[in-house]
Amino acid sequence: MADKNMWMLMGADAKPFPSPEPGMLGGHRRGKRYGKLDCRAALRAIARGGYVKNRVFFLDEATAIAAGFRPCAVCMPAEYRLFRGHA
10 within 8 A of 27, measured Cβ to Cβ? yes
What are the tens digits of pLDDT across the range 15-29?
999 999 999 999 999
Per-residue pLDDT, 3: 59
The domain locations on the chain are 11-60
> What's phi and psi for 41, nearest 5 deg?
-65, -45
Q: Are the C-beta atoms of 14 and 45 separated by less than 8 Å?
A: no
Q: Are 55 and 20 in contact (CB under 8 A)?
A: no
Check residue 50 and give its pLDDT: 78
pLDDT digits (tens, 9 = 90+) for 35-85: 999 999 999 999 998 788 999 999 999 999 999 999 999 999 999 999 999
Give the start-end residues of each E strand in 1-87. 7-10, 16-19, 25-28, 33-36, 55-58, 70-71
User: How much is the pTM?
Assistant: 0.87
Residues 51, 41 contacting (CB under 8 angstroms): no
